Amino acid sequence: MSSKSYILERVKQNKPMLSVLPVVPMFERKDDVSLISLFKENLEFVGGRLIELNSKEELNGQISEIYPDLKIIASTLNVEAANLDLNSIIDPHALKGIDLTIIQGDFGVAENGAIWIPANTISHRVLPFITQHLVIILDKTQLVCNMHQAYQKLDIHKADGFGVFLSGPSKTADIEQSLVIGAHGSRSLVVFLV
């Protein structure tokens, strides 16, 4: 007997009586809390920074002001500072020198500061992880309250096989429980809400 049939046979024998799968409600918030302020509060709690822009035009100025010294800058968007052509790169290992990456987020989740980033929008899956610093542009109308709504909204089958909820810069507390920002992934995260 193959291991598969052996396992399935035993599971079948040993499993308990049928127990019904519950319906999960959406848990909409009843108060009129602003999604933007809730998102901001949580993003800051997880070590990120939120900057609200009046228009996309302000983006270029902001980038050069916040990151005056960063050398290699990649973007999937039309950003002046970008100087690395992502389309010319086939092997993802070649992305290792990137200092700053600027990408578009699909939508944000107010309850935890997470942003959904599907692979079809970032040219290389490893991009938001391998970069030293990360900037995400987010449309302020694209915020949902909680994870139930988030899953209602996202379509994993359009994501090109991979997607990530990203909440803040990478971090660790593995040494004596002291929080250090910048573990293996990005050292900082700025979200521009437009």
Partner 1 sequence: MNHAQAATQFIKDEARTDWHDKALWFVRYKRDIQTKKVPEWEQLRELASQIKANVLSELDSYLIQFEENALKNGVHVHWAKDAHEHNDIILNILKAKGVRKMVKSKSMLTEECHLNPYLIQNGIDVIDTDLGERIIQLRDETPSHIVLPAIHLKKEDVGETFYKYLGSEKGASDPKYLTEVARGHLREQFLTADAALTGVNFAVAETGGFVVCTNEGNADLGAHLAPIHIASMGMEKLIPRQSDLGVFLRLLARNATGQPITTYSSHFLKPNNGQEMHIVIVDNGRSEQLGREDFRKSLYCIRCGACMNTCPVYRRSGGHSYSYTVPGPIGSILSPGIDLKKHSSMPFASTLCGSCTDVCPVKIDIHHQLYKWRQIIAKEGDFPLSKKIMMKVMGFMLSHPKFYRFAGKMARTALPIMPRFMLYNNLNAWGKEREIPQAPKQSFREWYLKNRE
Q: Which of 84, 137, 143, 169 binds partner 1 (CB under 8 A)?
A: 169
Residue 12 interacts with partner 1 (CB under 8 A): yes or no: yes
Contact 91, 124 (CB under 8 A): no
The residue behind tokens 């987010």 is 138
Site string for partner 1, 47-86 (x = CB under 8 A): ----------------------------------------
* Cα–Cα distances in angstroms (integers) from residue 21 to residues 28, 31, 123, 148, 181, in the given order: 21, 29, 38, 16, 39
The size of the interface with partner 1 (CB under 8 A), counted in residues, is 71
Residue appearing with tokens 């929080």: 179
Given 11, 32, 55, 141, the residue binding partner 1 (CB under 8 A): 11
CB of 94 to partner 1, least distance (A): 10
Backbone phi, psi, residue 121, to 5°: -105, 0
Smallest distance, partner 1 to C-beta of residue 191, A: 14
Q: Which residues of 147-184 are buried (b: 16+ CB within 10 A; e: fewer)?
A: ebbbeeebeeeebeeebbbbbbbbbeeeeeeeeebeee
Q: Which is nearer to partner 1, 105 or 169 (CB)?
A: 169
**Is 15 a binder of partner 1 (CB under 8 A)?**
yes
Does 32 bind partner 1 (CB under 8 A)? Our answer is no
- Regarding beta strands 114-118 and 133-138, do their DSSP bridges make them parallel or antiparallel, or are they unpaired? unpaired
Among 75, 82, 107, 124, the residue binding partner 1 under the rule CB under 8 A is 124
